[in-house]
Amino acid sequence: MSNDYFFVYFLLASNATLLMIAAVVILRFERRWQRIESFWDSPTGAALSDDSDEEIREQMEATRRLEKRFGELQRTVRQMESKAPQERPTIERNLPIENAVRMARLGASVEDLTRNCGLNMGEARLMKTLHGRSPTTATRH
């Protein structure tokens, strides 16, 4: 029977200890919660929460302004495209190189190519070699 009393007292002491630990934990949690609430109610906490909300609002407003400006630019580009002349400038066919090729085929000298086409000596010799008449071709015509 003494074992039964010992067991009962042990259970009572254990329960009391656990209840005391739970009460301490709850009190600490409540104090911490109050400190957190008082921080967010303080000017510092209010400033932090307002700044983050304000910053988000500013970013959203900046995004809206950029989207609006982008739309305006797109409309301007469309208007400019519709007003632009549809004709593309044509490339002139009488380029100096084409003129030099034509003259070399007709048998012009290196001096003629440099003077009339603006080629240097090396370019004129190359034109004469590539496009000039060969001696056998010149005698046949």
- Give the residue with greater pLDDT, 94 vs 121: 121
Is residue 130 located within the same domain as residue 108?
A: yes
Helix-strand-coil split of the chain, %, nearest 5:
80, 0, 20
| Distance between CA atoms of residues 126 and 114, nearest Å | 11
In this structure, the answer to whether residues 22 and 54 fall within a common structural domain is: yes
Contact yes or no for 131/101 (Cβ under 8 A): yes
Predicted confidence (pLDDT) per residue in 73-107, tens digit: 999 988 888 886 665 555 455 577 888 888 889 98
Amino acid 97: pLDDT: 81
DSSP class per residue in 31-63: HHHHHHHHHHHSHHHHHHHHHHHHHHHHHHHHH
Range of the domain at 34: 2-83
Residue 105: exposed, middle, or buried by beta-carbon count in 10 A (0-12, 13-18, 19+)? middle
> What would the mean pLDDT of 17-29 be, rounded to a whole number?
96
Q: Is residue 139 part of a domain?
A: no
19 and 70 share one domain: yes
Q: What is the pLDDT of residue 37?
A: 87
Residues 79, 44 within the same domain: yes
| DSSP designation for 94 | -
DSSP letter for 120, please: -
pLDDT score recorded for residue 94: 57
pLDDT of residue 65: 93
What is the total count of domains within the chain?
Answer: 2
Number of H helices, E strands in the chain: 6, 0
- Is residue 72 in a domain? yes
Query: Residue 131 pLDDT > 70, yes or no?
Result: yes
Instruction: Name the percent of the chain lying above pLDDT 70.
Output: 79
In a domain, 31, yes or no: yes
Quickly tell me which residue has 């630990």 as its tokens.
21
Token code pair at residue 55 = 């910053």
Q: Has residue 10 been placed in a domain?
A: yes
Do residue 62 and residue 105 come from a single domain? no
Residues 6 and 46 in one domain: yes
- Measured CA to CA, the distance from residue 56 to residue 48 in angstroms comes to 12
Question: Within a domain: residue 140?
Answer: no
Amino acid identity of 24? V
Please tell me whether residues 73 and 108 are part of one structural domain: no
